[in-house]
Structure 1
Amino acid sequence: MAHVILGLLLLAPQSLYDLIKSFEAGVALFYSASSGSIKRALDGLLDKGLIEVASTEPGGRGKKIYRVTEAGRQEFHRWMTGELSGADLETAALSRLYFLGLLDPTDRVAVLRRIQERTAAHLAQLTALKKRIDTIEVPAEFRDVAVYQRATLDYGISSGQHALTWFGDLADRGEPQAR
């Protein structure tokens, strides 16, 4: 979540309230977060020196506006161009795709290829699991359950095949033009 917040703050300095609204307006398409988790991530970014308070509005509440530091810019770039990590490949891929326009155009295709490679590896794991499962005799009392468990695996494979093709097509097109 910290990297998503860095990306949002690179788009524009924002308050906690603004960040919550930014999550609701777009990031929620691929990443869900509570206001408390956003606040904790903001505090962590502040502690690490990756963001700073740009201004504090006068008044009773003293709303703070946050912005990214140079160290935060470097960390964001490292994350965007680095290996995808975590168990949720779709969230990792879509998080990077959402902010891809913040990178230099020369870095964008390499990020898409990295996503494509990780997707291919994940798809290979699912396909291998399918082959193993196909050799197992399911006891009669579990066959109804197994049908839907297999359908879940089939969905994952189909989704992975689509993602592999989609990210590959995007990378092959090179630098898409803004609409």
Structure 2
Amino acid sequence: MSHVILGLLLISPMSLYDLVKAFEAGVSLFYSASSGSIKRALDNLLRQGLIEVASVDPGARGRKVYRVTEAGHQEFRAWMTGEPAGQDLETVALPRLYFLGLLEPDERAPVLHRITARIEADLARLTGLSEHLDGRDIPEGLRDVARHQFATLDYGIATHRFALDWFRRHAERQEDAGPGEAEPAPRPEPD
């Protein structure tokens, strides 16, 4: 969550309230957080020197507006350009995609390629598990349970195949746009 907050603050300095609203308005599509967890992450980022208080509104509430420090900017960039690590593919890939426009144009394709490589590795692991389980003798009393467990594995394989195809196409569009050119964002087709 800290890197998501850094990304949001790089777009614009914000208060805790503004950050909660930013999560609700867009980030919640791939990452959910309570106002308490956002506050704890802000306090941690402050302690680490990755953000600072840009201003405090006068008055009883003293609303604080936060901004990213140079150290925070470097941390965010290192996270964006580093290897995507973590268990859940969506929380690994989608925040990087969401903030990709904060990187220089020549830094974007390598990020997309690292995400694609991660998806390929995860897909290979799931496919290998499916092949390993294929043809296993399932005890009679567990066949109905196993059928749904295999369906869950099939779903995981299908979503990874979709993600791989989508990220490959997006990477191609990014490369076709060329440096400094605006790439049109893909829009969902209406039903």
TM range (shorter): over 0.9
1:10 corresponds to which residue? 10
Root-mean-square deviation (Å)? 1.0
* Structure 1: runs of 5+ lacking an equivalent: none
Q: Is 2:23 the counterpart of 1:23?
A: yes
Post-superposition shift, 1:101? 0.5
> Deviation per CA, 1:23-50, whole angstroms, max 9, x where unpaired?
0000000001011110000001000000
Match of 1:122 in 2: 122
Paired with 1:77 and 1:107, the residues of 2 have a C-alpha distance of 10
- Once the two structures are TM-superposed, the CA of residue 135 in structure 1 deviates from its matched residue by 3.2
Counterpart code for 1:123: L
Summarize the alignment of residues 67-146 of structure 1 with structure 2, pairs less than 5 Å apart. Answer: 67-146=67-146
Q: Could you tell me which amino acid in structure 2 is paired with residue 81 of structure 1? A: T
Runs of 4+ in 1 over 4 A off after TM superposition: none
Q: Deviations over 1:97-116 (max 9, x none)?
A: 00000000001111000000
One-letter amino acid matched to 1:61:
R
- Amino acid across the alignment from 2:9: L
Q: SS at 2:66's partner residue? A: strand
For the residue of structure 1 that corresponds to 2:54, the secondary structure is strand
Structure 1 CA distance, aligned partners of 2:97 and 2:158? 20
Deviations 1:107-163 (A, max 9, x none): 111100000000000000000000111132111111111111000000000000111
Aligned length: 179
Residue identity matched to 2:22: S
Residue identity in the other structure for 1:161: R
* Structure 1 range deviating more: 134-143 or 103-112: 134-143
How far apart are residue 89 of structure 1 and its match?
Answer: 1.5
Q: What is the identity, as a one-letter code, of the residue corresponding to 2:149?
A: Q
For the residues of structure 2 that align with 1:118 and 1:86, how far apart are their CA atoms? 10
Distance in 2 (CA, whole Å) between partners of 1:126 and 1:178 is 33
Residue 159 of structure 2 corresponds to 159
One-letter code aligned to 1:32:
S
Identity of aligned residues (%): 63
Note if 1:41 corresponds to 2:47.
no
- Structure 1 residue 77: Cα displacement: 0.2
The answer to whether the aligner puts 1:177 opposite 2:183 as a matched pair is yes
State the match for 2:147 in structure 1: 147
Deviation for aligned residue 1:90 = 1.4
- 1:4-37 deviations in Å (ceiling 9; x for gaps): 0000000100000000000000000000101111
Structure 2 counterpart of 1:66: 66
Shift of residue 178, structure 1, vs aligned partner: 4.5
> Structure 1 residues 131-140 or 4-13, which shifts more?
131-140
